[in-house]
């Protein structure tokens, strides 16, 4: 598989995301449903702690990707849902710790709430193998 970053402008680099990707030679896709900050036992991780919740979300995404035979290297698109957009910069920083190098095409959406009380973030991803 070959990923080519679609970069019509340079300004997005300062925000840590890509406008899009062209993927050639991909033979399979993994669609990761919105992941929230629940651990393997279904318990909320980091009540009131955005960074702890964000790290758990990306840990969960990695688990689902691995189950599908993929890794963060294969991710071409993420969507983040945030009840408080003030956390966007922290999200981008933590995402960069999990997804090294070129950042996937991204969408950030502010929402009124998430599935369970106390959730501060939800992220979904698309990977191409």
**Does 87 score more than 70 pLDDT?**
yes
Could you tell me which of 98, 122, 95, 114 has the C-alpha nearest to residue 34? Answer: 122
Q: How much is the pLDDT for 119?
A: 98
Residue 64 is inside which H or E element, if any? helix 50-67
Helix, strand or coil for residue 85?
Answer: helix
Average pLDDT, the chain: 92
Mean pLDDT (whole number) for 65-71 = 93
For residue 118 the two structure tokens come to 């106390």
* Domains and their CATH numbers in the chain: 2-6+14-128 (3.30.1330.40)
**Does 25 score more than 80 pLDDT?**
yes
| pTM exceeding 0.85 | yes
Tokens 């964000």 map to which residue? 54
Q: Which residues pair with 35 in a beta bridge?
A: 123
pLDDT band at 123 (very low <50, low <70, confident <90, very high): very high
Mean pLDDT (whole number) for 11-30 = 79
Dihedral (Cα; 128, 7, 96, 69), 10-degree rounding: 10
Contact 5, 13 (CB under 8 A): no
DSSP string, 103-115: PPEEEEEE-S--S
**Does 97 score more than 90 pLDDT?**
yes
87 φ/ψ sector (left φ>0, alpha ψ -120 to 50, else beta): alpha
Give the rounded percent of residues in the chain with a pLDDT score beyond 70: 98
pLDDT tens per residue, range 38-57: 999 999 999 999 999 999 99
pLDDT tens per residue, range 70-86: 999 999 999 999 999 99
Give the DSSP letter of residue 44.
Answer: B
Residue 2 is inside which H or E element, if any? strand 2-6
pLDDT band at 20 (very low <50, low <70, confident <90, very high): confident
């Amino acid at each position: 598989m070959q990923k080519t970053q679609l970069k019509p402008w340079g300004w997005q680099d300062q925000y840590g995301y890509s406008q899009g990707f062209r993927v050639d030679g991909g033979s399979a896709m993994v669609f990761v449903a919105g992941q929230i900050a629940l651990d393997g036992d279904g318990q909320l991780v980091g009540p009131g702690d955005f960074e702890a919740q964000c790290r758990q979300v990306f840990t969960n995404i990695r688990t689902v990707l691995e189950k599908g035979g993929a890794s963060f290297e294969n991710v071409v698109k993420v969507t983040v849902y945030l009840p408080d957009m003030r956390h966007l910069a922290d999200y981008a920083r933590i995402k960069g710790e999990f997804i090294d190098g070129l950042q996937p095409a991204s969408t950030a959406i502010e929402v009124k709430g998430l599935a369970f009380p106390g959730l501060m973030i939800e992220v979904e991803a698309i990977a191409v193998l």
